[in-house]
Chain A
Amino acid sequence: MQEPTFLILTALAGGSRHGYGIITDVERISGGRVRLRAGTLYAALDRLQGDGLIAADREEIVDGRLRRYYALTDTGAERLATEAERLRARAELATRRLAALPRLRGDGSPA
């Protein structure tokens, strides 16, 4: 799963969001590192909807303009959980190995 997809699904795991809401949430989750543009976001939303990972939730009109909210589907939640578990296992392995590095333990000898 590519990072923007993971971030969009993670944003929607926090509740249904409209396009601008997803952009701001993704920026926050990524610590300001990823700022999705509208073209990229809507291409991703179209693909994720096609794959059944997200679905349009509800619509509202704000200042005369349509806002469509998107929500994570059960399949999307499962895929995100699998990906999160995969990343967690990797991160855990990396942390264990780093902890075993002698120079990080203060031994001073090269790895």
Chain B
Amino acid sequence: MRTLEDRYRRLLRWYPAEHRRVHEDEMLGVLLATAEPGRSRPPFSEATDLICGGLWLRFRYTPERLRRAGWPDAAALTALLAPLLLLALTLRYALDAVLVARLAEQEVVLVEIVPGGLLTFDMFNAAPAWLAAGTAAVLALAGLRRTTAVVAVAAAVFQMVTQPWEGGTGFVTMTLRAVTPGLLLLMLAAAVLVSPGPRRAVRLLGGTGVGLAVVAACAAVLAGSRLLDLSTPLGNGPPLAATAVAGAAAGVMLLRSAGGRRAAVVLAVPLAAPLLMLGWRAALLLGAGGAG
């Protein structure tokens, strides 16, 4: 049968392990000394107080703790790199839109030439959302924090609410079009509000790091677009390679600092979203196949 001490010990599991290691025995002594005689269960108010105390110690984030953990640096880097990624995605869209318009002028049957669905209907319906995303990115790089936050949140909502329903062309395309920019925009909105400024980000990443990130973003525009894919024999190979090399080099420079590592994790979420969606879809298909 459980004793009062056992029950208090269970409640103390709400505290962080480090705190328990130092204070558990001492706290148990206090709890048992203040308990009413004959009691076998902790009073509700005492249990609530212990749970609240444990949670407070687990999740308290003082400005000093946040600074030591590198979160302001992560915000500064996110406020610099998220706009670059958003601009790359927007420019990729713009290139494809021009391409589709040209092909349409030539009355080429687009669906046959571009498997995966570069449908004119899809392309041009997405224009306002991409325009908003691109605007937020430019505002962020111009240093207009509050305006960026407002425009980015509005663009994210617009992107996430409207885009998935526009003539679906597959899970990955849908995610790249809606979820990835939507999440990037929300992260940008949060980052610009708490960032100590772009100078801090440039100092952390270094001039070379910033240059490499810009090169990777520019190469990614070409790699993601269908332009080279359709117009040159080498296709997307060279820009894809350039993206990988410059991106990896910039990534190494990003991972040098604690703030950079946190920014990398933050930015990996929207970038990994298409892969997660692909995995989810594969699991669904496998499940359906298994059921059939």
Instruction: Name A's B-contacting residues (CB within 8 A).
Output: 18-20, 23, 37-43, 46, 50, 62, 65-68
Apart from A20-B33, A23-B34, A46-B19, list 15 A-B contacts with CB within 8 A: A18-B30, A19-B26, A19-B29, A20-B34, A38-B27, A38-B53, A39-B52, A39-B54, A42-B23, A43-B57, A65-B25, A65-B28, A66-B29, A67-B29, A68-B23
- B45 located at the interface, meaning its Cβ lies under 8 Å from any Cβ of chain A in the complex: yes
A69 nearest CB across to chain B (Å): 10
Q: Are A42 and B27 in contact (CB under 8 A)?
A: yes
How many residue-residue contacts, CB under 8 A, span A and B? 56
Q: Are B57 and A20 in contact (CB under 8 A)?
A: no
How far apart are the CA atoms of A68 and B23 in the complex, in Å?
9
A-contact bits for B11-53, CB 8 A (1 contact / 0 none): 0000000010001011111110110000000000110011111
Pick 17 A–B contacts, CB within 8 A, sort by A. A19-B29, A19-B30, A38-B31, A38-B46, A38-B49, A38-B50, A42-B27, A42-B53, A43-B53, A43-B57, A46-B19, A46-B57, A65-B26, A65-B29, A66-B26, A68-B23, A68-B26
A14 nearest CB across to chain B (Å): 18
- B56 located at the interface, meaning its Cβ lies under 8 Å from any Cβ of chain A in the complex: yes
Q: Are B53 and A40 in contact (CB under 8 A)?
A: yes
Report A-chain residues with C-beta under 8 Å of the C-beta of B28: 65
Query: Which one of A41, A43, A46, A50 contacts B30 once the chains associate, using CB atoms below 8 Å?
Result: A41
Report A-chain residues with C-beta under 8 Å of the C-beta of B25: 65-66
Query: Which one of B26, B29, B33, B53 contacts A39 once the chains associate, using CB atoms below 8 Å?
Result: B53
Of chain A, the residue at the smallest CB distance from B47 is A39
Q: Are B23 and A37 in contact (CB under 8 A)?
A: no
A-contact bits for B251-279, CB 8 A (1 contact / 0 none): 00000000000000000000000000000
**Known contacts A38-B49, A39-B50, A42-B53; is A67 also within 8 Å of B26 by CB?**
yes
How far apart are the CA atoms of A20 and B49 in the complex, in Å?
16
A104 nearest CB across to chain B (Å): 40
B6 nearest CB across to chain A (Å): 15
For chain B, what secondary structure do more than half of its interface residues adopt (helix, strand, loop), or is it mixed?
A: helix
Report A-chain residues with C-beta under 8 Å of the C-beta of B30: 18-20, 23, 38, 41
Report A-chain residues with C-beta under 8 Å of the C-beta of B29: 19-20, 62, 65-67
A71 nearest CB across to chain B (Å): 15
Report A-chain residues with C-beta under 8 Å of the C-beta of B54: 39
Q: Are B26 and A43 in contact (CB under 8 A)?
A: no
Report A-chain residues with C-beta under 8 Å of the C-beta of B57: 43, 46
Report B-chain residues with C-beta under 8 Å of the C-beta of A67: 26, 29
B124 nearest CB across to chain A (Å): 57
Q: Are B33 and A43 in contact (CB under 8 A)?
A: no
How far apart are the CA atoms of A36 and B253 in the complex, in Å?
50
A23 nearest CB across to chain B (Å): 6
A97 nearest CB across to chain B (Å): 38
Residue among B28, B34, B57 with max Cβ neighbours from chain A (10 Å): B34
**Known contacts A23-B34, A46-B19; is A37 also within 8 Å of B27 by CB?**
no
**Known contacts A19-B29, A66-B26; is A39 also within 8 Å of B34 by CB?**
no
Report B-chain residues with C-beta under 8 Å of the C-beta of A38: 27, 30-31, 34, 46, 49-50, 53
How far apart are the CA atoms of A19 and B45 in the complex, in Å?
19
How far apart are the CA atoms of A93 and B204 in the complex, in Å?
53
Interface residues of B in 46-69 (CB under 8 A from A): 46, 49-54, 56-57, 62
Report B-chain residues with C-beta under 8 Å of the C-beta of A62: 29
How far apart are the CA atoms of A43 and B19 in the complex, in Å?
10
Residue among A19, A37, A38, A46 with max Cβ neighbours from chain B (10 Å): A38
How far apart are the CA atoms of A66 and B27 in the complex, in Å?
9
How far apart are the CA atoms of A23 and B34 in the complex, in Å?
9
How far apart are the CA atoms of A74 and B19 in the complex, in Å?
25
